[in-house]
Amino acid sequence: MRLMIVGQKWLGAEALAALRAQGHDVASVAAPVGDRLHQAAVAAGVPVGDPGRALAAAWVPEGVDLIVAAHAHCFVTRAARKRARHGAIGYHPSLLPRHRGRDAVRWAIHMREAVTGGSVYWMTDRADAGPLAAQDWCHIVPGDDAASLWRRELGPMGVRLLARVVADVADGRLVRVPQVEALATWEPAFDRPALARASAHPGPGVCLAGTVVESADTWGG
């Protein structure tokens, strides 16, 4: 299948490696210049560029089947999603619809939850609210912080789930389970400007919570 990856850091680089290992054609990568994913794409000979804060349709190569957001640094616009045959999927490190928002891992720990997980969902104009394609869960171990939980469980889980959903789509299995809005929760960022509303329709330049994996600048590497 012909893919475009929009992402950064560890998750983006690992998703690129995993999807290429599955035999998929990664037509292009969008990543910040100098980032780990940017370097991995250059090393693999995959065309790479930095669209800035919004991925416009012009950045999506002809014939792309699916956009894969793996810790994306920019908003994937509706026009960009429409240019890909099947749209776009993203990974969010919570059991959606619980913990929508950019600090899902921190909030799960802060609320002393025993279990959390990760979700791959179909991206829409609403932050973290699109239909679910796959989920998995894990325990939160006493003493966990966001970094340890991400590195041990949620990061590797994201790579596995993204690879699984891409394989499903390639085989013609498009799972789209609507999120139950009555169960949805949304929390603001711990230390960054909050999204106005979980149900907002962000415009270009807004980084969606589910495409930016938490406040991962220090531990998402």
d(CA 142, CA 150): 14
Spatial contact of 116 and 140, defined as CB atoms under 8 Å apart: yes
Model confidence at 9: pLDDT above 70:
yes
pLDDT digits (tens, 9 = 90+) for 99-123: 999 899 999 999 999 999 999 999 9
Residue 139, beta-bridge partner list = 115
Output the CATH code of domain 2-183: 3.40.50.170
Average the pLDDT over 207-213 and give the result.
34
Nearest alpha-carbon partner for 15 in 89, 65, 126: 89
Token digits of residue 96: 């959606």
Considering only residues 80 and 213, tell me which one the structure prediction assigns the higher pLDDT.
Answer: 80
Average pLDDT value for residue range 50-54:
95
pLDDT digits (tens, 9 = 90+) for 168-193: 999 999 999 999 999 999 998 877 65
* CA-based nearest residue to 3, from 210, 12, 153, 191: 12
Angle at alpha carbon of residue 129, lines to 221 and 219, rounded to 5°: 10
Strand pairing category for 115-122 and 75-76: unpaired
